[in-house]
Structures are given as structure tokens and as C-alpha cells.
């Protein structure tokens, strides 16, 4: 094992710096991972630009991490072995002690670290992680294509499972970006009638190619009216952080339909109460998921042939990849790769 590793850290808001760090040893309940790939998520923008250097040391961002186990600390479950391919997502490992954990709701654990925020993430060749956050990664998936499934994949996969729709029902996907392009694929493979809603006709061909049966350009068409004319959507999966655009679609929900919100924005969602009561409609939020749920999303992706569309960059070009994601130029996910890391566990 190398005595040091390269990492990209946030030294001040919006500033990424390539540094060399000493290779750590895992403590009780921790593992050391040799990172093979790490996706760049839209949520990384808050982690990179909202950092406060006065309250914490330079942090390594990134929470879509694929790699192999190099070393295990004491107290790690016997299911994990050196050399095994694993992943870590946004939720960095549950505590196994709080009331949510005792109920088996590990994704709602209030004591777990947030990868890339309260604990270092995967823009690095090495990563210390809590073993309770580990996800087993199928060897049939390349690390670059598996990485976004640990965020955009599991988030949309779980949202569709919670939406209440059944095979054959109409499901609308609002926003055709990093999250939306995964939602379209999953929804189509789950047997829903899929309507994609985006802004502009430049994304229409992509949306249809990803599994949508119909594309609505909200710049040219009243999306809510169009959906209502077909009987309404049994579910709407909102992947964007635009409360006004989300609220505008509420009238298009069919009776007992459900709006599932994925964005963690801080702006309030304007909701006419009558629309909820009159048709027994519902609004729910959906977080990413537990390690077990992530493994189910990975297995479904393998079975159904769902894959993220990615662009890859080497670790040292992290800032350029991040800039491309922020500019909206990416189609659809950016992934950092670590040269030489694939054999580091041996």
C-alpha cells in the first residue's frame, strides 16, 4: 500500500486544490477504500461553494464512490473482505443505536455522517468510511457506470417505488438532467407510461431515447393541461429545485395521485390545500436510500439494462469536470476516475 494518496480538497468556497495526504489506517468500525471512480453530483456545488474553512479542516467532496477494500478496522462485519468491490453514497453509515435504526429505517438515521460534508468524500484515491455505510457493488458493473447509481440512481429508483403508481399508469418525470435521465429509464423498465417534462426541444430526442413515451416542452406547452387531458398523472417525480414549476403541475395529478419531491431546496412549495383534499392527492419527499436499497437499485439496473450516461475525467481535472456540470453542458453525469487505483487493493 502506498504511504500517501492524492486528493482534491476544498480550501475555500468554490476552490478545489489537488494535494497529497498520508494514507490513514481505519479505526474501529471503519474501512479503507481504494477509490476507482467518484461521480460528481449537483449537490456537490453546495459542498464546494458553501464550505466554511473556519469551522472545519479542508474537506474532500464527492459522494458517489466506487472502489475496493484495502484495510478493515476492528469490529467490521465479516461480510466485508479485503479486495471486495464496495461503494459509499451520500449517507455515510448509520449508527445502529437511534430509534430510526432500531426500526430498520437506516436511511433516516440522525447520527450518520454526510459524505463530502461532515466526512471526507471520494474526490480522492483513498477514502476512510464507516462500514455500516458500505454497499456491495456487482462486478458486472464498471466503476464509472456504477458510481452515479449510488445517488441519482437510488434516489429515482426509490422515488418510483414510493410513488404509488402501478404498471400501466401514467408517471410524469419533471426535469431531464442527472436525476431525470435515470428516472426515465427506471420508470420505463417498471412498466409505467412515461411522460418527460423539460424546457426546450433540444432534450426531446434524449428523453424519448431514454424511455419516455411522450415529451412535453414546458416552454411551448402547458404541461399540466396536457397531462389533465389524458386523465392526469398517477405520479409526478420532481427532480428539479423549482417550487413554482413543481406547484404548477399539481392540478395534473389524478385523484389519489402522488407528487414525489427529490430536491432538498430551502424554498417553500406553494400548495393549494383544496387540490390535496378534493382528490385525496399526496406530496411526499424521498431521500436516497439505505445500503440495502442501493444494492437493490444496482441489481435492478443490471437486470433491466439501466445505465447512467456519463462523461469521465481524471482526478486532476476535477475542477474542469465540476465546471462543466455547473454550466449545464454535461449529458448527463460527470465521473472522476483514479488512475492506477483498480489494482491498489492487491
- CATH code (residue 203): 3.40.50.720
Question: Which grid coordinates are listed for 207?
Answer: 428523453
122 closest CA partner among 153, 106, 146: 146
Final residue belonging to a domain, choices 266, 285, 304: 285
Same domain, 10 and 62: yes
What does residue 318 show for φ and ψ, rounded to 5 degrees? -60, -40
The 3-state DSSP class for residue 145 equals helix
Residue 44, sorted as left (phi over 0), alpha (psi -120 to 50) or beta, turns out to be alpha
Same domain, 177 and 99: no
pLDDT in tens, 105-140: 999 999 999 999 999 999 999 999 999 999 999 999
pLDDT for the residue 71 = 97
Q: Are 124 and 6 in contact (CB under 8 A)?
A: yes
Same domain, 146 and 10: yes
Which residues are registered as beta bridge partners of 250? Answer: none
- Distance between CA 110 and CA 162 in Å, rounded? 21
Final residue belonging to a domain, choices 267, 285, 303: 285
Q: What is the count of structural domains for the chain?
A: 2
DSSP class of residue 50 equals S
Same domain, 31 and 73: yes
Question: Which grid coordinates are listed for 292?
Answer: 440495502
Same domain, 175 and 191: yes
CA distances from 158 to 53, 190, 262, 264 (A): 34, 12, 10, 15
Same domain, 56 and 38: yes
Same domain, 140 and 23: yes
- Distance between CA 197 and CA 199 in Å, rounded? 7
Q: Is the peptide bond before 332 cis (omega within 30 degrees of 0)?
A: yes
CA distances from 57 to 46, 101, 117 (A): 16, 29, 11
Same domain, 74 and 177: no
Same domain, 22 and 41: yes
Final residue belonging to a domain, choices 285, 308, 327: 285
Q: What is the CATH number of the domain that holds 80?
A: 3.90.180.10
327: domain range?
4-151+289-343
The residue assigned the cell 447512467 is 308
How many C-beta neighbours within 10 Å does residue 219 have? 10
Same domain, 117 and 172: no
pLDDT for the residue 340 = 58
Same domain, 169 and 260: yes
DSSP assignment of 223-250, as one string?
HHHHHHHTT-EEEEEE-SS-HHHHHHTG
335 closest CA partner among 62, 46, 153, 115: 62
Q: Which helix H or strand E contains 22, and what residues bound it?
A: strand 15-22
Q: Are 232 and 221 in contact (CB under 8 A)?
A: no
- Which segments of 167-266 are extended strands (E)? 170-174, 193-198, 214-217, 233-238, 253-261
294 closest CA partner among 33, 64, 68: 64
The low-confidence residues of the chain, meaning pLDDT below 70, are: 340-346
Same domain, 60 and 147: yes
129: Cβ–Cβ under 8 A, 6 or more apart, which residues?
30, 31, 33, 65, 88, 92, 93, 115, 119
SS3 percent helix, strand, coil of the chain, rounded to 5, is 30, 30, 40
Amino acid at each position: 500500500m502506498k504511504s500517501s494518496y492524492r486528493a482534491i480538497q476544498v480550501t475555500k468556497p468554490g476552490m478545489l486544490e489537488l494535494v497529497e495526504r498520508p494514507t490513514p489506517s481505519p479505526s474501529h468500525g471503519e474501512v479503507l477504500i481504494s477509490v476507482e471512480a467518484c461521480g460528481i453530483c449537483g449537490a456537490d456545488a453546495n459542498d464546494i461553494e458553501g464550505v466554511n474553512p473556519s469551522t472545519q479542516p479542508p474537506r474532500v467532496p464527492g459522494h458517489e464512490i466506487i472502489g475496493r477494500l484495502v484495510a478493515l478496522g476492528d469490529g467490521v462485519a465479516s461480510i466485508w473482505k479485503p479486495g471486495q468491490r464496495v461503494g459509499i453514497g451520500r449517507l455515510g453509515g448509520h449508527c445502529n443505536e437511534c430509534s430510526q435504526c432500531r426500526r430498520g429505517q437506516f436511511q433516516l438515521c440522525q447520527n450518520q455522517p454526510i459524505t463530502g460534508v461532515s466526512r471526507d468524500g471520494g474526490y480522492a484515491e483513498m477514502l476512510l468510511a464507516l462500514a455500516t455505510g458500505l454497499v456491495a457493488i456487482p462486478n458486472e458493473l464498471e466503476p464509472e457506470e456504477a458510481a452515479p447509481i449510488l445517488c441519482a440512481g437510488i434516489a429515482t429508483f426509490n422515488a418510483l417505488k414510493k410513488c404509488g403508481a402501478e404498471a400501466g399508469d401514467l408517471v410524469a418525470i419533471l426535469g431531464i438532467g442527472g436525476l431525470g435521465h435515470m428516472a426515465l429509464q427506471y420508470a420505463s423498465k417498471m412498466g409505467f407510461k412515461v411522460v418527460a417534462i423539460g424546457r426546450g426541444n433540444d432534450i426531446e430526442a434524449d428523453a424519448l431515447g431514454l424511455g419516455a413515451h411522450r415529451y412535453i416542452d414546458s416552454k411551448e406547452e402547458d404541461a399540466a393541461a396536457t397531462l389533465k387531458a389524458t386523465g392526469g398523472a398517477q405520479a409526478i417525480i420532481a427532480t428539479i429545485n423549482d417550487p413554482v414549476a413543481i406547484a404548477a403541475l399539481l392540478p395534473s395529478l389524478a385523484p389519489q395521485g402522488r407528487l414525489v419531491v427529490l430536491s432538498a431546496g430551502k424554498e417553500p412549495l406553494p400548495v393549494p390545500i383544496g387540490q390535496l383534499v378534493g382528490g385525496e392527492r399526496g406530496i411526499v419527499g424521498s431521500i436516497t436510500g439505505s445500503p440495502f436499497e442501493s444494492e437493490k437499485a444496482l441489481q435492478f439496473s443490471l437486470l433491466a439494462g439501466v445505465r447512467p450516461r456519463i462523461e469521465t475525467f481524471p482526478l486532476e481535472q476535477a475542477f474542469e469536470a465540476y465546471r462543466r456540470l455547473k454550466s449545464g453542458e454535461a449529458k448527463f453525469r460527470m465521473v472522476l476516475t483514479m488512475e492506477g487505483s483498480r489494482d491498489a487493493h492487491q
